[in-house]
C-alpha cells in the first residue's frame, strides 16, 4: 500500500510516533505509520523482537521532513511528554521565591511514568552516543532514575551523588577511579547549582566531566558549564514580582504548586 512512502524514523513506542506524526501533519507533510502489526503482515519487512513503529513520509517529501524533524522533533516530543505526565505545567504559579511565573516544573512527575521517562532518557542518551564516557553520574534524587536510564542505554556504569551535611559527595561503595570520564545527567535546572557541585566533586576525585545532559534547561541555554551541554527541552523561564505580573492583570487564578489549595 505504501510504495510511495519512505521510513523517516523508527520509534520504540506508538506514543512518540504519534506525536511526531501530528507535528509533521500540522506542517503539511503526508505521513503514514507502519506499526508492528502491519509490518508483520507485509512481505519483505523483517520481523523484529522489539516492537518498532515506523513513521513514513511521501518519498518526495522525505528530505524536507528529515530536515524538519532533526531541528525540532526532540524538543517537541520532550515538551509533550513532560506536559502529558504532568511535569510541565502552564498557568499562573506562585514560586517559593514569592515571584509569579507562567510555567512550573513538577520534577517528580517525570519518574512517575516509567515508560515515558525511559523513552525521553533514551533520546537524551542518543545525543551522547559518540562520546567517550566511562560513567554516568546523576545527583540525587531526581536524576538517579534518569542517570541510570541514560547509563543503561549507553551501556556504561552509573553512580549517584548526594549532599552530606550540605556537601555534594558520592554515595559510598561505587567503584570510582581517577581519570574516569563522566557524563552528568540532571532533570531540570535553572541556575545549574547541583551540576556545578558535581563538576567540583569530579575534580576532587580527579575524574573528568565530558558533558552535561539535561531534560530541561530553564536558563534558555545561558549557563556555561565549560563542557558540552545537551538539553531535550530549552525554555526561557519567566517570572515577575507580584505587582508587575501580567497574569495577575488578566485576573488568571494563581496556583501554589505542591498544594491542593489554590
The site for Zn ion (CB under 5 A) is made up of 100, 245, 247-248
Cα(128)–Cα(156) distance, integer angstroms: 12
What are the b/e assignments for 111-123, b being 16+ CB within 10 Å?
A: bebeebbbbbbbb
Smallest gap from residue 133 Cβ to Zn ion (A):
43
* Closer by beta carbon to Zn ion, 100 or else 116: 100
DSSP 8-state assignment for residue 255 = B
Smallest gap from residue 99 Cβ to Zn ion (A):
9
* Closer by beta carbon to Zn ion, 14 or else 248: 248
* Closer by beta carbon to Zn ion, 7 or else 103: 103
* Closer by beta carbon to Zn ion, 140 or else 252: 252
* Closer by beta carbon to Zn ion, 45 or else 95: 95
Cα(5)–Cα(208) distance, integer angstroms: 45
Smallest gap from residue 81 Cβ to Zn ion (A):
27
Smallest gap from residue 238 Cβ to Zn ion (A):
11
Cα(101)–Cα(72) distance, integer angstroms: 25
* Closer by beta carbon to Zn ion, 209 or else 245: 245
Largest CA distance in the chain: 66
Q: Which residue is nearest to Zn ion (CB)?
A: 245
Smallest gap from residue 106 Cβ to Zn ion (A):
19
Smallest gap from residue 247 Cβ to Zn ion (A):
4
Sign of CA dihedral 141, 229, 81, 40: negative
**Cβ-Cβ contacts under 8 Å for 103 (sequence gap 6 or more):** 88, 89, 90, 91, 93, 235, 237, 238
DSSP 8-state assignment for residue 192 = -
Smallest gap from residue 248 Cβ to Zn ion (A):
4
User: In angstroms, what is the C-alpha Rg of the chain?
Assistant: 21
Task: Find the helix or strand (DSSP H, E) in which 33 lies.
Answer: strand 31-34
Helix ranges (H only) for 2-113 are: 14-26, 36-40, 62-84
* Closer by beta carbon to Zn ion, 203 or else 238: 238
Cα(250)–Cα(244) distance, integer angstroms: 12
Amino acid at each position: 500500500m505504501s510504495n510511495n512512502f519512505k521510513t523517516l524514523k523508527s520509534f520504540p513506542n506508538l506514543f512518540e510516533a504519534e506525536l511526531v506524526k501530528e507535528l509533521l501533519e500540522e506542517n503539511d507533510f503526508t505521513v503514514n505509520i507502519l506499526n508492528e502489526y502491519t509490518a508483520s503482515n507485509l512481505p519483505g519487512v523483517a520481523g523484529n523482537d522489539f516492537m518498532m513503529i515506523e513513521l513514513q513520509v511521501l518519498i518526495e517529501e522525505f528530505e524536507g521532513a528529515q530536515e524538519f524533524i532533526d531541528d525540532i522533533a526532540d524538543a517537541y516530543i520532550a515538551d509533550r511528554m513532560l506536559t502529558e505526565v504532568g511535569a510541565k505545567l502552564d498557568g499562573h504559579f506562585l514560586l517559593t521565591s514569592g515571584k509569579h511565573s507562567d510555567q512550573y516544573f513538577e520534577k517528580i512527575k517525570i519518574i512517575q511514568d516509567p515508560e515515558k521517562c525511559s523513552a525521553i532518557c533514551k533520546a537524551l542518551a542518543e545525543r551522547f552516543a559518540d562520546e567517550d564516557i566511562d560513567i554516568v553520574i546523576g545527583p540525587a534524587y531526581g536524576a538517579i532514575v534518569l542517570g541510570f536510564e541514560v547509563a543503561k542505554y549507553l551501556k556504561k556504569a552509573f553512580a549517584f551523588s548526594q549532599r552530606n551535611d550540605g556537601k555534594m559527595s558520592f554515595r559510598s561503595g561505587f567503584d570510582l577511579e581517577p581519570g574516569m570520564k563522566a557524563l552528568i545527567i540532571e532533570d531540570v535546572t535553572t541556575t545549574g547549582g547541583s551540576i556545578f557541585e558535581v563538576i567540583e566533586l569530579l575534580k576532587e576525585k580527579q575524574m573528568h566531566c565530558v558533558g552535561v545532559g539535561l531534560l530541561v534547561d530553564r536558563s534558555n541555554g545561558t549557563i556555561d558549564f565549560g563542557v558540552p551541554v545537551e538539553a531535550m527541552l530549552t525554555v526561557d523561564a519567566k517570572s515577575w514580582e507580584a505587582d508587575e505580573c501580567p497574569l495577575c492583570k488578566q485576573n488568571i487564578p494563581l496556583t501554589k504548586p505542591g498544594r491542593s489549595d489554590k
